Structure 1
Amino acid sequence: MPNLYKTILQQCPEQCELLIVSKHRSVEQIQAYYDQGARNFGENRVQELLQKAPQLPQDIRWNFIGHLQRNKVRAVMPYISRLCSLDSLALAAIVDKEAARLNRTLGVLVEFNLAEESSKTGLAKQEAAAFFQALQQYEHLIPEGIMVMGPHVDDEAAIAAVFHEARALFEELKAQWGGEHFTVCSMGMSHDYPIALREGSTQLRLGTILFEDPSSI
Structure 2
Amino acid sequence: MSHEASRSTIAENIARVRERLADACRRAGRSPDQVTLIAVSKTKPLDAIAAAAACGLHDFGENRVQEALTKIPHAPPQLRWHLIGHLQSNKAKPAVEHFHLIHTVDSPALAQRLDRLAQERQKTQPVLLQVKLGDEATKSGVAPTALPALYAAVRALPNLRVCGLMTIPPFCPDPEAVRPYFRHLRELRDALQAAFPSDDLPELSMGMSHDFEVAVEEGATLIRVGTAIFGDR
What TM-score, normalized by structure 1, do the two folds share? Answer: 0.91
Amino acid at match of 2:120: R
Partner of 2:107: 88
1:174-209 deviation digits (Å, cap 9, x = unpaired): 232365652111110112112112211111100011
1:7 to 5, 19, 43: 19
**1:137-156 matched pairs, under 5 angstroms:** 137-156=156-175
Whichever structure has more helix as a proportion of its residues is 2
1:115-135 deviation digits (Å, cap 9, x = unpaired): 222221101100111111111
CA 1:212–1:178 in structure 2 vs 1: closer, same or farther (change >3 Å)? farther
- Does residue 121 (structure 1) correspond to residue 133 (structure 2)? The answer is no
Identical amino acids, percent of aligned pairs: 36
Where 1:14 maps in the other structure, the secondary structure is helix
Amino acid at match of 1:7: E
Where 2:171 maps in the other structure, the secondary structure is coil
- Does residue 133 (structure 1) correspond to residue 147 (structure 2)? The answer is no
**1:5-44 matched pairs, under 5 angstroms:** 5-11=17-23, 12=25, 13-44=32-63
Q: Is the 8 A contact 1:132 1:177 kept in 2?
A: no
Q: Is the 8 A contact 1:39 1:61 kept in 2?
A: yes
2:96 to 71, 77, 91: 77
1:132-166 deviation digits (Å, cap 9, x = unpaired): 11112210000000001122223444311111111
Q: How many residues align?
A: 213
- Structure 2 gaps, min length 5: 1-11, 26-31
Q: Is the 8 A contact 2:125 2:161 kept in 1?
A: yes
What TM-score, normalized by structure 2, do the two folds share? Answer: 0.85
- Does residue 160 (structure 1) correspond to residue 160 (structure 2)? The answer is no
The alignment's C-alpha RMSD in Å is: 1.8
Q: Is the 8 A contact 2:38 2:59 kept in 1?
A: yes
Q: Is the 8 A contact 2:193 2:199 kept in 1?
A: no
1:35-87 deviation digits (Å, cap 9, x = unpaired): 11111111011111100000012221101011111011112322111100001
Moved more, 197-206 or 170-179: 170-179
- Structure 1 gaps, min length 5: none
